[in-house]
């Protein structure tokens, strides 16, 4: 008897995290995941992501000059979609900002070299990777080369042609001294992240004939020469398709889920809302993984330029003062992933404030590291507002910090939005093995994130 009473009291007073699987319909969750997996397998660079969403938006009537739905791309690597609300832009916007760049290995500008009759590509990694994870896995090369005439050449060498590139690791028989006793960060060095790329020499006599043969193949296929590679952005990304993980097919293993899971869900949610109350914006940023700097990162003025332009196209005139006012009246979700508890490494999490796979979208009040350095710290009022929206819609959500206080940390685009005076909070699904070549998400979290973003656009 006493137990029942306590149970009732606990239910009334306590906070409890729930599994998303308890409350959603399986069919919807699984079919939504299929579309997401297709997207992940196809789109592996920021340029490809912009291209994908521009096409998708165009199919729904979005263009640069539409009177109510605008799509503006920034240098092919950053995209802003705007949907006119019932209220004027000057009353503030609701924005969901995610990023479409992912950790990867970029080819250097003079990449090709030959060593012991093998040709390689030098690389320079991008973002926070654990370098050893990128050795001996199938990689493909995607990107753009601008030739001497300024023509953009699209490069895609890999899975679709049954071809891969590999960073060759050392066999265990010989790694005793060279690797086995080293720190994980030093087992594979930055310079050793070279891609094995060719081994047939060009006929004749002379040096570096394998390299020459490789350059000849590139020239035949793409019409480019070695100097053209200096003006290129070529990315080595995992040559692996998105797959169901687990016998119950409840999870997804795929490259690029940080943060294209938020890009995909926010765009899908955005496309679903025909007539939002406030002007709705989806912002897909580049360069988040290297600090949001650069002309295509969240720290650029592209958002402001896009808003001026949208207002003008919608028939509104904004001056500088009204722009600042509208920004401070606006609400934002920094749509980014959190690190879900990996039960194999319990020691780095504090479970009461950690996020878990399958427990729904994670609402993160602050990011940063140590004493909340480099963080946006959302107002309690804004947390309450978001909490209510999610509860009212019956969305499974959880709160979560990234690991124990002194364990590490990380940042998102949140602080760059907060700079405009907006209410902003981080909200996105939790991943296991974040930043690895094969990140793990939960299908129910994917779906709840999509539902949460939709509610935010409607009621945020
Ligand atoms: Mn991220
Ligand atoms: Mn990241």
CA distance 348 to 329: 38
117 CA to middle of ligand 2, Å? 37
259-312 pLDDT, tens digit each: 999 999 999 999 999 999 999 999 999 999 999 999 999 999 999 999 999 999
- Is a pLDDT exceeding 70 seen at residue 426? yes
Tokens of 237: 């990304």
Nearest to 306 by CA among 284, 273, 333, 336: 284
209 CA to middle of ligand 1, Å? 42
User: HSE (CB half, 13 Å, CA atoms) of 284?
Assistant: 37
288 CA to middle of ligand 2, Å? 7
203-238 pLDDT, tens digit each: 999 999 999 999 999 999 999 999 999 999 999 999
Nearest to 349 by CA among 360, 340, 358, 362: 340
Kindly give the pairing relationship between strand 397-399 and strand 423-428: unpaired
Taking the CA of 434 as reference, the closest ligand is: 2
DSSP state of 17: -
* Mean residue pLDDT across the chain: 96
CA distance 12 to 217: 69
pTM, two decimals, is 0.97
**What local confidence, expressed as pLDDT, does residue 1 receive?**
58
CATH class for the domain made up of 104-238:
mainly beta
Write the CB contacts of 76 (distance below 8 Å, at least 6 apart in sequence). Answer: 47, 50, 51
Write the CB contacts of 380 (distance below 8 Å, at least 6 apart in sequence). Answer: none
CATH 2.30.250.10 residue spans of the chain: 104-238
Which residue, chain included where needed, has tokens 């819609």? 393
Q: Cα 84 to the chain's mean position, in Å?
A: 26
Write the CB contacts of 382 (distance below 8 Å, at least 6 apart in sequence). Answer: 331, 423, 424, 425
Which residue, chain included where needed, has tokens 């959880």? 398
Write the CB contacts of 414 (distance below 8 Å, at least 6 apart in sequence). Answer: 332, 334, 336, 367, 375, 376, 378, 424, 425, 426
> Dihedral (C-alpha) 275, 60, 451, 425: value to the nearest 10 degrees?
-80
**What local confidence, expressed as pLDDT, does residue 412 receive?**
94
How does residue 23 score in pLDDT terms, banded at 50, 70 and 90? confident
Q: What percent of the chain has pLDDT over 90?
A: 93
Q: Dihedral sign, CA of 257, 258, 262, 263? A: negative
- Is a pLDDT exceeding 80 seen at residue 77? yes
CATH 3.40.630.10 residue spans of the chain: 15-102+255-459
Nearest to 154 by CA among 139, 164, 166, 143: 143
Residues with Cβ–ion distance below 5 A, ligand 2: 258
DSSP output for 164-186:
-BB-PPPPGGG-IIIIITS-HHH
Taking the CA of 430 as reference, the closest ligand is: 1
Taking the CA of 99 as reference, the closest ligand is: 1
Tokens of 302: 């592209």
Taking the CA of 412 as reference, the closest ligand is: 1
79-98 pLDDT, tens digit each: 999 999 999 999 999 999 99
CA distance 358 to 18: 9
**What local confidence, expressed as pLDDT, does residue 406 receive?**
86
Residues with Cβ–ion distance below 5 A, ligand 1: 258-259, 336
- Is a pLDDT exceeding 80 seen at residue 2? no
Give CATH for domain 15-102+255-459. Answer: 3.40.630.10
99 CA to middle of ligand 2, Å? 9
375-410 pLDDT, tens digit each: 889 999 999 999 999 999 999 999 999 889 988 888
Q: Cα 426 to the chain's mean position, in Å?
A: 14
Nearest to 229 by CA among 322, 109, 345: 109
176 CA to middle of ligand 2, Å? 33
259 CA to middle of ligand 2, Å? 7
């Amino acid at each position: 008897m006493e137990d029942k009473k306590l149970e009732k009291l606990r239910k009334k007073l306590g906070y409890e995290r729930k599994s998303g699987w308890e409350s959603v319909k399986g069919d919807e969750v699984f079919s939504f995941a299929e579309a997401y997996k297709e997207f992940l397998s196809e789109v592996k660079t920021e340029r490809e992501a912009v291209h994908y969403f521009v096409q998708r938006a165009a199919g729904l009537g979005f263009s640069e000059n539409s009177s109510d739905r605008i799509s503006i791309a920034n240098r092919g690597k950053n995209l802003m979609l705007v949907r006119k609300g019932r209220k004027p832009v000057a009353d503030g916007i609701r924005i969901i900002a995610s990023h479409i760049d992912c950790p990867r290995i970029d080819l250097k500008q003079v990449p090709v070299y030959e060593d012991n009759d093998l040709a390689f590509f030098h690389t320079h990694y991008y973002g926070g990777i654990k370098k050893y994870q990128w050795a001996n896995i199938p990689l493909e090369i995607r990107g753009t080369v601008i030739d001497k005439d300024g023509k953009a050449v699209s490069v895609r060498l890999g899975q679709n042609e049954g071809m891969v590139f590999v960073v060759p690791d050392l066999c265990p028989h010989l790694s005793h001294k060279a690797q086995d006793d080293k720190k994980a960060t030093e087992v594979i060095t930055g310079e050793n992240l070279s891609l094995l790329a060719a081994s047939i020499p060009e006929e004749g006599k002379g040096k570096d004939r394998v390299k020459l043969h490789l350059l000849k193949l590139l020239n035949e296929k793409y019409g480019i020469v070695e100097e053209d590679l200096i003006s290129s952005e070529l990315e080595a990304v995992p040559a692996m398709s998105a797959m169901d993980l687990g016998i119950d097919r409840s999870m997804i293993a795929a490259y690029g889920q940080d943060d294209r899971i938020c890009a995909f869900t926010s765009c899908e949610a955005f496309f679903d809302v025909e007539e939002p109350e406030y002007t709705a914006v989806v912002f897909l940023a580049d360069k988040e993984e290297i600090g949001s700097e650069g002309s295509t990162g969240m720290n650029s003025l592209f958002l402001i330029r896009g808003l001026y332009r949208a207002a003008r196209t919608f028939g509104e005139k904004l001056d500088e003062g009204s722009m600042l006012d509208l920004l401070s009246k606006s609400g934002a979700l920094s749509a980014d992933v959190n690190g879900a508890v990996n039960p194999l490494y319990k020691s780095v999490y504090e479970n009461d404030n950690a996020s878990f796979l399958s427990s729904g979208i994670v609402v993160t009040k602050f990011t940063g590291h140590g004493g909340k350095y480099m963080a946006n710290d959302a107002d309690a009022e804004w947390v309450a507002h978001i909490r209510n929206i999610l509860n009212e819609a019956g969305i499974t959500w959880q709160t979560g910090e990234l690991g124990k206080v002194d364990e590490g940390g990380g940042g998102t685009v949140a602080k760059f939005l907060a700079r405009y005076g907006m209410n902003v909070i981080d909200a996105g699904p939790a991943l296991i093995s974040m930043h690895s070549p094969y990140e793990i998400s939960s299908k129910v979290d994917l779906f709840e994130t999509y539902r949460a973003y939709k509610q935010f656009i409607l009621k945020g």
